[in-house]
Structure 1
Amino acid sequence: MKQVIAKPARIAGGVLGGLIASTVFKHVWKLASGKDEPPEADSTRYGWGEVLVAAALQGAIFGVVKAVIERAAARDD
């Protein structure tokens, strides 16, 4: 029974984590760059440096949020 409940809970946690990470990233980017929206990788309006810094920052934030959610859900069975 626990496994039946655990999988949907993990999926919901992943979706919630993605939403949280996306929101945090947008706020951090705005504070760090002074721009409202982060650069899009496929747009030629942005240089390589800006795109790569944004991608690295986004990846780090997503990784931390994922770890926090997984750690909060961890149980010793």
Structure 2
Amino acid sequence: MAKHKKMKLPLVYQPLGFVLSWAAGALAGLAFRKAWTALRHEEDAPDALDPDRGWGEILLAAAVQGALFAVVRSAVDRSGAKAIARSTGVWPVAGRD
């Protein structure tokens, strides 16, 4: 099989990736606040340095926040990469198809 020379796109994708990551962080923060309010019926999630909160509550908040951030960021990154691939025919990250 003949190899096709692929167009270089990662440098072009970097600014878009940055904007998408920023948007993912903002969206994840919003999702976490909504999820915490639904879980605990509180508006403020515990901070690790809050002396009035227990370990369980702090670790639960951190786990929920981390999981939501990972899911939202992956969904946004994947959607951006798929959109670039559809519009250019090239996967935006070097070495991956």
Q: TM-score, normalised by structure 1?
A: 0.91
1:71 is aligned to 78
1:34 has 2:38 as partner: no
Paired residue total: 77
1:54 has 2:64 as partner: no
2:15 is aligned to 8
RMSD: 1.5
Considering Cα pairs closer than 8 Å and 6+ residues apart, tell me whether 1 or 2 has the greater RCO. 2
Structure with the bigger percentage of helix: 1
Q: What percentage of residue pairs aligned between the two structures are identical?
A: 30
CA drift of 1:3 comes to: 3.8
C-alpha distance in 2 between matches for 1:29 and 1:12: 26
- Structure 2 runs not aligned, ≥5 long: 1-7, 91-97
Q: TM-score, normalised by structure 2?
A: 0.73
1:44 is aligned to 51
Q: Which has the larger radius of gyration?
A: 2
